[in-house]
Structure formats: structure tokens, C-alpha cells
Amino acid sequence: MSNSAAKPESGPFFRALFGWWWLGLLVFALVEAGGHTVIRAGVPSLADWAAAASFARGELQPRDQIVVAPAWADPLLRWCLGDGISPAMAGPSDLAAYDRLWALSIRGARPGPAPASKPELTRRFGRVQVLRWRLPRSTVVYDLVEHVKEAEVAITRRGQRKPCPLQRLAPGSGGGLGLGVLAPAERAVCDRGRSSLWVAPVVVEDLDLKPRRCVWQHPAGAEPSRVAFHDVPLGQSLVFYGGLYYEHERMRQGGPVQVSISINGKAAARMVHQDGDGWKRLAFSTREASQSRPRGDIAVEVSAENPRRRGFCWAATVREVPLPEAQP
């Protein structure tokens, strides 16, 4: 074969192709810039968010809840309306305590907890929509989380119940990745030598990384810790939620947590929380107890054979509605 034969890559087509490589690069850059412009044009401005939040803020009532859709926009909701969102609103278990649901929505998103019906109110502020739904009238008559500081807290050691006094201490060092739950300054302390053995209302992230407003009640061991509420309305039903701090549950390496709920000293319901259960729900009737006494005592006991990294937290409400209507 002759050495003078032309190589394929030296032909006119390939010379033209490689000679105009910069044109392809220019076209790519133009497409990229155009796409960026289109994306930016569809992003709501901070002014849109602020205007929508201002409107909602002026209309919010005590039994209103407000969320954002899609859920990943939650930091923007906190930025523009965080001072109007209580810890209970930030970490609800369900919507039973609320009469109306508001949502700041972008890109046509619909909030997950919204009713199937159309919203009763719609307003647009630039690229942010404000939506509102009417919910069934709230039947919650007593929220145990909101009243936990009034409860009697105790821990059991060798069969003897010892009180956990409510104290005001320096806030804990938690709240960051790997640091555990942030302990509030005011908490019922059960053991100064064990930093997790206290009871107080907190907001924790559950297994799905959703915030939950709940009562922190880390088990001490096989003998239970106890939170007792005295002379409270018993209603028609009690709805209880419980779960573990996500860093304690995600590896699925811990043992079960036992929960016992009693009314007027009589066992009423039990929950066993296993790793992987997430934010678990339990509902039961209180009608029998309330028929003889409309007010009484409710106690929650928590224990675990192996209490290491069993950061249990729970929320509960008494409702003036019988089962199964108490189901959300």
C-alpha cells in the first residue's frame, strides 16, 4: 500500500469540521445562557414571596395552619413568615387542631395535606399563589404537648418512683448534625448525670426528616419514666403519635420502645415502636372513662430494655369526637 494515500481524517469534511469547532462551542454557550434565562424568568422573586406572606399574615386566625407547596420551598416560607409560625404549626402531626389551611404555592403545586376540594380563596402575587381551604371544625379539646410543663414527671428506679423536677438550666448543645436534639432551658430533669433523661416540649426530625412538635421522653431503661396530667378533659377519644429522633432510628439497629397510656390509673392503650415505624399513630376511645368522669388523669409511660440512642418523642390530643371519626 502506498504511503502517499490520504488519511480519512485529512479530507475536506474533517478539515471543515475541526476548523469550525468554535462555532459549536458558541452555540452550546448560547443555549446554556438561554436556558438559564428561561429558568430565572420562572423563579418567583423575593418581593413576590414577601407580598404573598404579607397578605396571609393579615388574614391568619388562631386556628389557622399555613404550609408551602412544594415542600422543598419551606425555607422560603420560614424566611418570609417565620415569625407567624409557632412551633406547633411548624411540626404538626395532623390538621385536627386547625379550622383553616393556608398555602403559599409556586409552579401550581398543591400541598399534601390539603383537602380534595377546591380552595375557597385564591390570590396571586407575581409567581406566588396564596390558597386557603376550610377544614372540618377542630374537635381538639386538650393538647398534651402544650400542657406538659403542668404535668407531673417521674422516673422509676428499683420499683420506686422519683420525681423529675422542672428546672431552668443552660440550653443544651444539640440542634446540629450529630449533636442530638436541642434541649430547652426549662425542662423536667430526671438524672443530671445522663444528659438525655429530661422531659420537655421540643421540635424533632422524624425518620422522614419531617419536623414534629412533641414531648421528649427518652426511656431510662426497663423501668418506665412517667408523665402524668391531672384533672384534664377526657373527651371522646385520644390520638397519640410517637417516634424516634431520626439519627437514632435511621440505622435500624435499636431495640423497641414500649409505651403505655393509662386513664385514671387504668391501662387504656399500648404502643410498641420498632425502628422503621417512623411517626406512628395510635387512636383509642376515652368515652367509657369520660361517661363517669368528664375530667380525669392521663399518664404516659415510656420504657426500653436497651435505652441507648432511643430518643423517643410523642404528641397527643384529646378530641371531642368518637372513633372512627377521630381518624384524620
pLDDT at 38 (0 to 100): 47
Kind and range of the H or E run holding 54 = helix 46-59
Residue closest to 306 by CA, chosen among 228, 203, 218:
218
DSSP for 166-195, written as a single string: EEE----S-SSTTT-PPPPSEEEES-TTST
The single-letter code of the amino acid at 60 is: L
Give the gyration radius of the chain's Cα atoms: 28
pLDDT at 18 (0 to 100): 58
Question: No. of H helices and E strands in the chain?
Answer: 7, 18
Count CB-CB contacts under 10 A for residue 318.
22
pLDDT at 326 (0 to 100): 62
pLDDT digits (tens, 9 = 90+) for 1-31: 444 444 555 566 555 555 555 566 666 666 6
Residues 91 and 213: beta-carbon distance below 8 Å? yes
As given in the structure block, the three cell numbers for residue 252 are: 435500624
Asked if CATH classification 1.20.120 holds for the domain at 140-319, the reply, yes or no, is no
- Residue located via cell numbers 471543515: 16
The single-letter code of the amino acid at 118 is: K
Chain-centre distance of CA 209, in angstroms? Answer: 7
Domain ranges (residues) in the chain: 46-134, 140-319
Close Cβ partners of 207 (under 8 Å, ≥ 6 residues apart) = 243, 244, 246, 249, 250, 276, 277, 278, 279
Residues (pLDDT < 70) of the chain are: 1-42, 172-173, 325-328
pLDDT at 169 (0 to 100): 87
pLDDT at 6 (0 to 100): 47
CA 276 to CA 206: how far, in whole Å? 10
